Amino acid sequence: MEATREIYWNVGHGVVWGMYLFAFIAIGICAWGFWTRLPVYRQGKPLSRLDRLPERIALMVKAMLAQSKVLRVLDPGALHALFFWSFALLFIGTLLIMAQADFAAPVLGIVFLKGAFYKLFSLSLDVAGALALLMLGGLMVRRFFVKPEGLQTIRDDYVVQALLFSIILTGFFAEGIRMAATEIGANPQLARLSPVGLLFGQMFLGMTPAVLSQAHKATWWVHFFLAMGFIAAIPYTKLRHIFTTSANYLFADLGPKGALATINLEDESVEQFGAASIKDLTWKDIFDADACTSCKRCQDRCPAYATDKPLSPMKLVQKIGEIARETPEANLCQSIGEDVLWSCTTCRACQETCPASVEHVNKILEMRRNLTLMEGSFPGDEVRTAIGNIEVNGNPFGLAYAARGDWAEGLDVAVMESGAEVDVLYFVGCYPSFDKRNREIAANFIKICNAAGVRVGILGKEEKCCGEPARKLGNEYLYQMTAAENIELIKAYGVKKIVTTCPHCFNTLARDYQDLGLDVPVEHYTTYISGLMRQQRLKLSPEPFEFTYHDSCYLGRYMDIIEEPREILKQAGGQITEMTRSGLESFCCSAGGGRIFAEEKIGSRINVARVQMAKETGAPLLVSNCPFCLTMFEDGIKTGGVEGEIRVRDLAEMVAERLAG
Amino acid sequence: MKILVCIKQVPDLESRFKPDQAGVWFSDTDLAFRMNEYDEYAVEQAVRLKEQLGDAPELTVLSIGPDRVVEVIKKALAMGCDRAVHVQDPAAHLKDPWQIASIIAAYAKDQGFDLILTGMQSQDRGSAQVGVTVAEILGVPCATTLVGFSYDGGTVTAKRELEGGLKGVVKLKIPALVTCQLGLNTPRYPTLPNIMKAKKKEIAAVPVAELLKSEPLAITTSFHAPAKKGSGLVLEGDIADLVTRVIGILKEKTAVLR
């Protein structure tokens, strides 16, 4: 007997008309649901996110089908991915049935669901159904019984779980009843290829054909209407993520990480800077709220959330959606809360991990721009003072600008002037210029360059703050003022290459200054040293030490420089013990986003939390690569009460102590 | 109502001061400049009064000095002043408080200002004389070191900071002059739209010669760092030992324990 089955057995082929009618209605309700959401997105400003379309489509297909973003966190990403693949297979199975029964057979007279292919089809769908059920069970346990911290459960979760469970179960029941009536007895060989159906079918063996027929019809229709309900419910429940999250992969930001729109300050027609209301954000910012699946991965990684500050990146994104839908006229910053907005360290852990390609950070920065540029607001008076100091003296400490180059006295460094012969310009930044502890970074970097025979120049008292903290606090005006002065100088001196020891300066000069006309290669000292070592210009004599390493946000997540610093430290004799949160998953030191100027008044201290993580590795030494991090960790070691148990040092110090010869 | 705020551009106090060539004031080299702190309180209070009165008053800001003082004038305009007067004087730093007050009074006398606000003193010269002298020349009442200000129906109620933490409240009928002290208010941070608008506001330039008719009464004869007398001493070590050493030093070098 040929392996196949009668499609529409018992219900009869006549159901197709009703079936298609209801399917169209369900699809119509679904489409209507999305259609009515379009005006919500349209409140936002225009933004082009369909350029480089082939690249975008490829990214979307990969993220969807391979579940690559979801799987970056295996628990519960694996459950979701397996459920997705199973459900997708069941969907394909349904499409095959439709193609076979409603098109291929009646129109073309072709039967393809037969023989070996039917066997494969039958077995795969059964396995897929079973797997989907299992994964759903796992997800249900996580959702309702073993709840992880911070998981929000709403009406949608009950609806979605109930729908999916009942769709799969009724499917198996319909199959089981059909098999009890037509297959288990007549073709036990074939029945074995539907193992789950066989299991369900056992329950119905021995019932009369009339009862089976009635039961099958009822189950079939229930299954059908549940499936239609599923389709119709998509835009009205969290199920919408099937479309919105996929679309968000298509709309993803393809620019350099952390790129922020440079405001045109010359345009006098602009009267609103930053986002005061929902219409000042882009449509994508609003759409992000619909793409969010509430998976809370961002929240789990947010240093502000972890230390009891009012910010949760997830809730912030969802709040924007809520405002867009319900109170679009509302004052955005006040509705969300200034404390929420000022809590962000722009560490980008949220955005890096987001499986839905939501862009959290720039939303916060656009709202901060409104607070700063339109309302003259600050997270605290100490920040106001620091900003005032940058305005007057070009550094947040308020120290004499003329003293900026004093750290280099007695060192082999040229202070730039026209025609100065140097290989690289060292853009020192405020902390290595003025802060006593951080001056060690500067001095040791020079020592390293001297050993490699690199001629280094600095701008000395002409250098100004790169403007990064001001920019991240929303003060685009001050940022562009100091940036313009730095750029003019760098251009005037005909600089060919810039090296920074600060990842914040690095990002700003390498990426942000491009918008303002600087086009000189910029490198962070870690990759620069790595290059010197590769070229054999710099030789180290390794001396053993045990350490753990902190990836600064602006070097790791923003610039993807993760391996080079570890390799340098290894070659210097270091034996690394990694913290759980390292690399792209690193936990911020608390100083990003201009928070270096701000007192941490709410919740516990982020730097203390990070120092504690370092201490837990058992390593006696924490190595960092950023002046802000060094500052925060020196402080965190003291205030966290682990003095004497762990020290913090900069990579430059470790290397400079191990120079060969 | 017409309001005048007088502001001065001063060097940032963290700067490195060196005497100028003549040795009578500091040299401009390597100095960063900003608005005199007390004058910021004056500007802020004037802007708040303007806002209180529904934007009706016309608010003029005046500064005397070389071209660089336009920077602080712009800041005052961005904070909310309506128009500005720049009394151009490259040698303002050589004028004594009497001359500076005379210049301001000469400008103000025919303008009919109802209220004049100044800082209580400048951060660089620190004479605290200019405000009161202007009031004296113009013959208007004056209250100094304001830490509180309110205005109602032609009367200024001024809370003054006195010695020893005491406060005094005085009432003045306008026209009047007040000088502002730390604690009066927190000056606003200019918003970007206001910075943009400030660029278009009028800054009237008046050569100092048109206003200055008087000779100095006090002449600065020398500017120098104080002579170094002795040096600090940092003690380190065991606390008990430190106590003994401190007592020893106090007995030996001071009169406190005798």
Which candidate, A220, A221, A7, A192, places its Cα nearest to that of A95?
Answer: A7
Q: What is the pTM of this model?
A: 0.93
Instruction: Choose among B12, B188, B195: nearest Cβ to A477.
Output: B195
- Provide the edge-to-edge strand list for the sheet that holds B142-152: B167-173, B155-161, B142-152, B176-180, B115-119, B2-7, B58-65, B83-88, B203-207
Q: Do B14 and A393 touch (CB under 8 A)?
A: yes
B235 is a domain residue? no
Q: Which of A311, A343, A375 is the last residue of a domain?
A: A375
- Are A239 and A208 found together in one domain? yes
Distance CA A145, CA A474 (A): 43
Q: Searching chain A, which residue's CA lies closest to the CA of residue B199?
A: A268
Judged by CB atoms within 8 Å, which residues 48-107 of B form the interface with A? none
* CB-based contact B205:B66 (threshold 8 Å): no
Q: Could you report the per-residue pLDDT of A603-625, keeping only the tens digit for each?
A: 999 999 999 999 999 999 999 99
Which CATH number characterizes residue A170's domain? 1.20.950
Q: Is A373 on the interface with B (CB under 8 A)?
A: yes
- Contact list in B for residue A403 (CB cut-off 8 A) is 16
Mark whether A98 and A190 lie in a shared domain: yes
CA A488 centroid distance within chain? 35
Residue whose entry in the numeric block shows the structure tokens 């965190």: A636
Same domain, A457 and A338: no
Interchain proximity A376–B196, CB inside 8 Å: no
pLDDT at B250: 87
A352 and A562 in contact (C-beta within 8 Å)? no
Find the CATH number of the domain harbouring A402: 3.40.50.1860
Q: Residue B239 domain-assigned?
A: no
Task: Pick the range with the lowest mean pLDDT from A152-161, A586-595, B142-151, B249-258.
Answer: B249-258
If residue A432 lies in a helix (H) or strand (E), which one and from where to where?
Answer: helix A430-434
pLDDT band at B235 (very low <50, low <70, confident <90, very high): confident
Rounded to the nearest 5 percent, the helix, strand and coil shares of chain A are 60, 5, 35
Final residue before a domain boundary, out of A344, A375, A406: A375
Could you give the CA distance from residue A575 to residue A569 in angstroms, rounded to a whole number?
A: 8
Q: What is the per-residue pLDDT for B258?
A: 67
CB contact under 8 A, A461 and B196: no
**Angstrom distance (rounded) from CA B95 to CA B133:** 14
User: B170: which strand partners?
Assistant: B158
Cβ neighbours around A513 below 10 Å, total = 24
Q: Count CB-CB contacts under 10 A for residue A253.
A: 15
Kindly report the nearest CA distance between residue B121 and chain A, in angstroms.
20
A208 lies in the same domain as A292:
no
* Residues pairing with A649 in the sheet: A623
Mark whether A65 and A190 lie in a shared domain.
yes
Quick check: B102 and B214 in contact, CB under 8 A? yes
Q: Is A164 in the same domain as A38?
A: yes
Parallel/antiparallel/unpaired status of strands A647-650 and A574-576: unpaired
Residue of A nearest to B200 (CA): A268
Among the listed residues A291, A658, A42, A385, the one whose alpha carbon sits nearest the alpha carbon of residue B12: A385
Question: B-chain residues within 8 Å CB-CB of A481?
Answer: none
The residues, any chain, with a CB within 8 Å of residue A214's CB and separated by 6 or more, are none
Helices and strands (DSSP H and E) totals, chain A: 30, 9
Percent of chain B with pLDDT over 70: 100
Q: Are residues A476 and A559 in the same domain?
A: no
**What DSSP line would sit under A606-636, residue for residue?**
HHHHHHHHHHHTT-SEEEES-HHHHHHHHHH
Closest CA to A77 of A160, A139, A155, A129: A139
The single-letter code of the amino acid at A381 is D
pLDDT at A334: 97
Query: What Cα–Cα distance (Å) separates residue B76 from each residue in A61, A213, A427, A445?
Result: 56, 88, 33, 43
Q: Measured between beta carbons, which residues in chain A are less than 8 angstroms from residue B16? A: 400, 402-403
- Indicate if the alpha-carbon torsion angle A31, A36, A40, A45 is positive or negative: positive
Looking at the domain assignment, is residue B247 inside a domain? no
Which amino acid makes up residue A350? C
- Express each pLDDT in A567-582 by its tens digit: 999 999 999 999 999 9
Q: Is residue B16 included in any domain, yes or no? A: yes
Residues A247, A59: Cα–Cα separation, whole Å: 11
Asked if residue A273 belongs to a domain, the reply is: no
**Beta strand segments in A277-389, E:** none
- Cα distance between residue A318 and residue A277, in whole Å: 15
ipTM above 0.95, yes or no: no
- The per-residue pLDDT for range B67-96, each reduced to its tens digit, is 999 999 999 999 999 999 999 999 999 999
Q: Both A448 and A576 in a single domain?
A: no
Same domain, A617 and A505: no
Secondary structure of chain B: what % helix, strand, coil (to 5)?
30, 25, 40
Q: Read off the tokens for A122.
A: 């039958």
Confidence (pLDDT) at A1: 58
Residue B161 forms part of a structural domain: yes
Report the CATH number at residue B64: 3.40.50.620
Residue B20 predicted with pLDDT over 90? yes
Q: pLDDT band at B30, cuts 50/70/90?
A: very high
Boundary (domain end) residue, out of A463, A498, A530: A530
Q: Is residue A269 part of a domain?
A: no
In a domain, A6, yes or no: no
Range of the domain at A327: 278-375
Chain A partners within 8 Å of B14 (Cβ): 393, 398-400
**Could B193 and A381 be called an inter-chain contact, meaning their C-beta atoms sit closer than 8 Å?**
no
The count of domains in chain B is 1
Q: Cα–Cα distance between A424 and A180 in angstroms, integer?
A: 81
- Three-state DSSP at A424 gives strand
Instruction: Report how many Cβ contacts below 8 Å link chain A to chain B.
Output: 51
Is A325 found in the same domain as A240? Answer: no
User: What is the distance between the alpha carbons of residues A197 and A202, in angstroms, rounded to a whole number?
Assistant: 9
What contacts 24+ positions apart, CB below 8 Å, involve B108-113?
B108/B4, B108/B134, B108/B138, B109/B137, B109/B138, B111/B2, B111/B4, B111/B60, B112/B2, B113/B2, B113/B3, B113/B4, B113/B60, B113/B175
Helix axes A115-140, A155-182, angle to 10 degrees: 150
Neighbour count for residue A123 (Cβ, 10 Å): 15
* Residue A101 within any structural domain of the chain: yes
Q: Is B188 on the interface with A (CB under 8 A)?
A: yes
B111: closest CA among B188, B191, B204, B189?
B204
Give the count of alpha carbons within 13 A of A551, CB side only: 25
Position A192 scores a pLDDT of 93
Residue A258 lies in a domain: no
Minimal Cα–Cα distance from B8 to chain A, Å? 15
Is A86 inside a domain boundary?
yes
Which whole number is the average pLDDT over B114-122?
97
Tokens 């009031």 belong to B135
Domain span including residue B149:
2-210
Closest Cα to residue A216, out of A38, A9, A27, A392?
A9
Determine how β-strand B142-152 pairs with β-strand B155-161: antiparallel
- Look at the block and give the residue holding tokens 């924490």: A622
- A266 falls within a domain: no
CA distances to A125, A168, B59 from A171, rounded to whole Å, are 11, 5, 80
How many Å apart are CA A302 and CA A651, to the nearest integer?
26
- Do A201 and A346 belong together in one domain? no
Is position B176 within any domain? yes
Same-domain pairing of A180 and A55: yes
A264 part of contact set with chain B, CB < 8 Å = no
Contacts of A647 (CB under 8 A, 6+ apart): A620, A621, A622, A637
Contacts of B188 in chain A (CB under 8 A): 376
The confidence score (pLDDT) of residue B165 equals 86
DSSP state of A580: S
CA distance B53 to chain A (A): 21
Inter-residue contact A373 to A274 (CB < 8 Å): yes
CB A25 within 8 A of CB A227: no
Which pair of tokens denotes residue A586? 């690193």
Mean pLDDT by 10 residues, chain A (661 residues): 84 90 97 97 96 96 96 95 96 93 90 92 96 96 94 95 96 96 92 95 93 95 96 97 97 94 90 96 98 96 98 98 97 97 98 97 98 96 96 96 95 86 96 97 97 96 97 98 97 95 98 96 98 96 97 98 97 97 97 97 97 97 98 97 96 96 71
Element containing residue B119 per DSSP (H, E): strand B115-119
Residues 6+ apart with CB under 8 A from A375: B191
Where residue A376 falls (left for φ over 0; alpha for ψ -120 to 50; beta otherwise) is left
Tokens 């004499």, located at residue: A400
CATH classification of the domain holding A348: 1.10.1060.10
Number of domains in chain A: 4
Before B207, cis peptide (omega within 30)?
A: no
Residue B17 lies in a domain: yes
- Tell me, letter by letter, the H, E, C secondary structure of A66-108: CCCCHHHCHHHHHHHHHHHHHHHHHHHHHHHHHHHHHHHHHHH
Q: Characterize the bridge pairing of strands B2-7 and B58-65.
A: parallel
Six-digit token string for A439: 């001056």
- Examine residue B40 and state whether it is found in any structural domain, yes or no: yes
Q: Which of B16, B32, B192 sits opposite A477 (nearest CB)?
A: B192
Q: How far apart are CA A280 and CA A44, in angstroms?
A: 6
In angstroms, the Cα distances linking A495 to A93, A423, A488 are 63, 9, 11
